[in-house]
Chains A and B, each alone.
Chain A
Amino acid sequence: MYEKEECHGFAGALRTFGGHGGPFRGPPCQLDVALGGGYFKTSYEADLALIDTRLRRTAVVGFVLLLVALPRFASSFLLDLVSQVALAAVGALALNVLTGLAGQISLGHAGFLAAGAFTTAALVERGVTSPLVTLPFTAVVGALLGLLVGIPSLRLKGLYLALGTLAMHHVVLYVAGEMQARAGGNTGFTIPPARIAGFVLRGTVGWYYALLLAGALTLALVVNLQRSRAGRAWMAIRDRDVAAASVGIHVARYKLSAFVWSSVVTALAGALFAYQRGFVSVEAFGFFVAVEYIAMIIIGGLGSALGAVLGAALVTLLPYGIDAAVATVSPGAADYYIFPAKFGAFGLLMAMFLVFEPLGLVGIWRRVRNWFFLWPFRHRPLRAA
Chain B
Amino acid sequence: MQALATTLVVASLYALLGAGYVLVYRSSRVLNLAQGDLLTLGGYFVFALAAAFPGLPAVSLPLAALASALTGVLVYVVLMRPMAGHPIFAAVLVTITLGILLRAAIVLVFTDRTRHPLADLGLTNPPSALPGGAVVSRFDLVMIGTAAVLFAALFVFLKLSPLGIQMRAAGERAVLASQRGINFHGVFALSWALAAFAGGLAGMIYASNVRLEPSLDVLGLRAFAVALVGGLDSLAGVIPAALIVAAVEVMSIRYGNPLLSDVSPFLCLLLMLLVRPWGLFGTREEMERV
Contact with B along A352-377 (1 / 0, CB 8 A): 00110010000000000000000000
Asked if A155 is an interface residue, CB under 8 A from chain B, the answer is yes
B29, B93, B269: the one within 8 Å of A298 (CB): B93
A255–B288 CA distance with the chains assembled, in angstroms = 14
Asked if A202 is an interface residue, CB under 8 A from chain B, the answer is no
Asked if A324 is an interface residue, CB under 8 A from chain B, the answer is no
A342–B104 CA distance with the chains assembled, in angstroms = 8
Asked if A63 is an interface residue, CB under 8 A from chain B, the answer is no
Contact status B259-A355, CB under 8 Å: no
- In angstroms, how far is the closest chain A Cβ from the Cβ of B108? 4
Q: A287-B221, A351-B101 are in contact. Are A255 and B259 (CB under 8 A)?
A: no
Q: Which residues of A contact B86 (CB under 8 A)?
A: 19, 22-24, 358
A341–B97 CA distance with the chains assembled, in angstroms = 14
* Chain B interface main SS type: helix
A195–B211 CA distance with the chains assembled, in angstroms = 48
B89, B98, B99: the one within 8 Å of A162 (CB): B89
Q: Which residues of B contact A22 (CB under 8 A)?
A: 85-87, 90
- B85's nearest neighbour on chain A, judged by CB, is A22
Asked if B260 is an interface residue, CB under 8 A from chain A, the answer is yes
Contact status A355-B94, CB under 8 Å: yes
B101, B112, B287: the one within 8 Å of A348 (CB): B101
Q: Which residues of A contact B83 (CB under 8 A)?
A: 354-355
Considering only residues 1-54 of chain B, those with a C-beta below 8 Å from chain A are: 29, 31
Asked if B105 is an interface residue, CB under 8 A from chain A, the answer is yes
- A14's nearest neighbour on chain B, judged by CB, is B87
A14, A171, A181, A350: the one within 8 Å of B89 (CB): A14
A291–B263 CA distance with the chains assembled, in angstroms = 19
A21–B90 CA distance with the chains assembled, in angstroms = 12
Contact status A152-B273, CB under 8 Å: yes
Q: A155-B277, A171-B267, A340-B104 are in contact. Are A252 and B290 (CB under 8 A)?
A: yes
Q: A171-B263, A171-B267 are in contact. Are A160 and B273 (CB under 8 A)?
A: yes
B31, B99, B267: the one within 8 Å of A159 (CB): B31
| Range for the number of chain A residues in contact with chain B | 35 or more
Contact status B266-A354, CB under 8 Å: no
Contact status A341-B108, CB under 8 Å: yes
B79, B105, B224, B274: the one within 8 Å of A351 (CB): B79
A24, A152, A340: the one within 8 Å of B108 (CB): A340
Contact status B94-A17, CB under 8 Å: no
- In angstroms, how far is the closest chain B Cβ from the Cβ of A95? 13
Contact status B259-A174, CB under 8 Å: yes
A346–B274 CA distance with the chains assembled, in angstroms = 34
Contact status B100-A347, CB under 8 Å: yes
Contact with B along A233-259 (1 / 0, CB 8 A): 000000001000100000110010000
Q: Which residues of B contact A159 (CB under 8 A)?
A: 31, 88-89, 92
B82, B87, B262: the one within 8 Å of A355 (CB): B82
Q: Which residues of A contact B100 (CB under 8 A)?
A: 291, 343-344, 346-347, 350
Asked if A40 is an interface residue, CB under 8 A from chain B, the answer is no
- In angstroms, how far is the closest chain B Cβ from the Cβ of A253? 9
- B225's nearest neighbour on chain A, judged by CB, is A167
Q: A14-B90, A174-B263 are in contact. Are A167 and B270 (CB under 8 A)?
A: yes
Contact status A339-B107, CB under 8 Å: yes
Q: Which residues of A contact B225 (CB under 8 A)?
A: 167
Asked if A20 is an interface residue, CB under 8 A from chain B, the answer is yes
Q: A22-B85, A355-B82 are in contact. Are A171 and B104 (CB under 8 A)?
A: no
Asked if B66 is an interface residue, CB under 8 A from chain A, the answer is no
Q: Which residues of B contact A68 (CB under 8 A)?
A: none
Considering only residues 71-116 of chain B, those with a C-beta below 8 Å from chain A are: 79, 82-83, 85-90, 92-94, 96-101, 103-105, 107-108, 111-112
A residues bordering B, Cβ < 8 Å?
14-15, 17-24, 105, 152, 154-160, 162-164, 166-168, 170-171, 173-174, 177-178, 181, 241, 245, 251-252, 255, 287, 291, 294, 298, 336-337, 339-341, 343-344, 346-348, 350-351, 354-355, 358
8 A-B pairs with CB atoms under 8 Å apart are: A155-B287, A159-B31, A164-B270, A336-B111, A343-B107, A347-B104, A351-B97, A354-B83
Known: A167-B269, A350-B96. 4 other contacts (CB 8 A): A156-B277, A160-B273, A170-B263, A336-B111
Closest 4 CB pairs of A and B: A19-B87, A344-B104, A347-B100, A17-B89
